[in-house]
Amino acid sequence: MWCCRKGNLVHYTKVISSHIRESRHREALAVFKHIHSSLTLPLDPHVFSLILKSCTSLSLTILATSIHSHSTKSSFLPHNSFLSSSLLHFYGTSLSLPQAHQLFLETLNPNVVVWNTIISLYAHSHHTCAALQLFHSIDVPPNESTFNPIIAALAANDGPLVAVRFYRRMIELNLRPRLITLLALLPASVAIAALNLVKEIHGYAVRNWIDPHHQLSSGLVEAYGRCGCLAYSNSVFRRMDQKDVVAWSCVISANALHGEARTALEVFKEMELAGVRPDGITFLGVLKACSHAGLDDEALWYFRRMSVEYGVEPNSDHYSCLVDVLGRAGRLQEAYEVIKEMPVKVTAKAWGALLGACRNFGELKLAEIAGRALAEVEPENAANYVLLAKMYASVGRMDEAERVRRKMKERGVKATTGSSWVVYSKS
């Protein structure tokens, strides 16, 4: 028990550290309070840096600022980078980035730990440009932790090519990517459909014994599937020792994406037999599989099971997918009824699926309803106007077709020019 009277600061520090590792922050604070109020032990910077983690987790502003004040008076801050880093993290997470940045500017000769903290704070707060500016102004040799938040932020914010360049720069500096690096890089690889990079990540993980990690394996299942390599996606999945709901959902979605609907549904049955409870993402993959294969009755069955058997409430994506399934099967009125009865906000996906189905089956009346709704939901999408105008023209209603084109012009909506792209590699 922590209350033993050993009077040894090292002992109490280990107890606090143990509590924090297990996220028992209130217990850690109780030990800290005991040291501070009952014992005549000098508190050192390491204890403060530990307790600041609990302050961050529990948003204890008064205690954290008191620690800051005490650390300043005791001259701890100029000499302890971990304490400075902990304070930076607290201010950036619990108070504000400007306050954290001001503390960073007041830090004398910040080392790489402090630089990494401020860069990470900006990157995780979606201030990617500011994080990049800090990265380019760093005046100490960077390490792996300097690159990781930048790569993750770029991959998540429409900068996948730049994320890959940062990864290459990291390799050039002989820095070894870790699990967190690979997890951040996979979405960037998928965004640019870089199958060779996915294979490179996979090979590196195997060579460095990172490969068995379930989170990385699930990411590889998804990445291979989305980059057009279904065989590798299934292979990675089958070799996984521990398959959680994420892994099962990824392989179901991969097979659905490639039109292997029956395989996706068989995998779903395996998942149920394995006792893994499906979630909303799993059912979205199942519904997409039904959509690609024209399995409308099966889609309705799975949709009902979702809420009745598993208590998963359908969201707008599930409803949109169901509309798409019914629309592809020519059950347009049923699809429209699904839209009318949706308990959540009807999105452009649902109306777009109905409009596309109406075009395929020549259903002009429902197409007009969907077209009007889309003009309200996403008035800047030229495809909706063009599709409706073509439907009018196909039945000889040229006046209505011209009216739609005129409305499109009045609103300044322009059809985007078709384009394609490739990823070029010298290797």
Most distant pair of Cα atoms in the chain: their distance: 93
The per-residue pLDDT string of the chain (427 residues; one tens digit each, 9 = 90 and over) reads: 444 444 477 888 888 888 888 888 888 888 888 887 776 666 677 788 888 888 888 888 888 788 788 777 767 766 677 888 888 888 888 888 998 898 898 888 889 999 999 999 999 998 999 999 999 999 999 999 999 999 999 998 878 999 999 999 999 999 999 999 999 999 999 998 899 999 999 999 999 888 778 899 999 999 999 999 999 999 999 999 889 999 999 999 999 999 999 999 999 999 999 999 999 999 999 999 999 899 999 999 999 999 999 999 999 999 999 999 999 999 999 999 999 999 999 999 999 999 999 988 989 899 889 988 888 888 888 888 888 888 888 878 888 888 888 888 877 777 777 666 665 655 4
* Threshold 0.85, pTM exceeds: no
Give the N- to C-terminal CA distance of the chain in Å, as an integer: 61
Judge residue 393's burial from the number of C-beta atoms within 10 Å of its C-beta, 0-12 exposed, 13-18 middle, 19 or more buried: middle
Q: How far is CA 377 from CA 210, 245, 348, 413, in A?
A: 45, 33, 6, 14
Give SS3 for 117.
Answer: helix
Amino acid of residue 291: S
CB neighbourhood size of 94 (10 A):
18
Given a contact cutoff of 8 angstroms between Cβ atoms, the answer to whether 254 and 226 are in contact is: yes
SS3 letters across 15-51: HHHHHHHCCCHHHHHHHHHHHHHHCCCCCCHHHHHHH
Give the number of other CB atoms < 10 A from CB of residue 387: 20
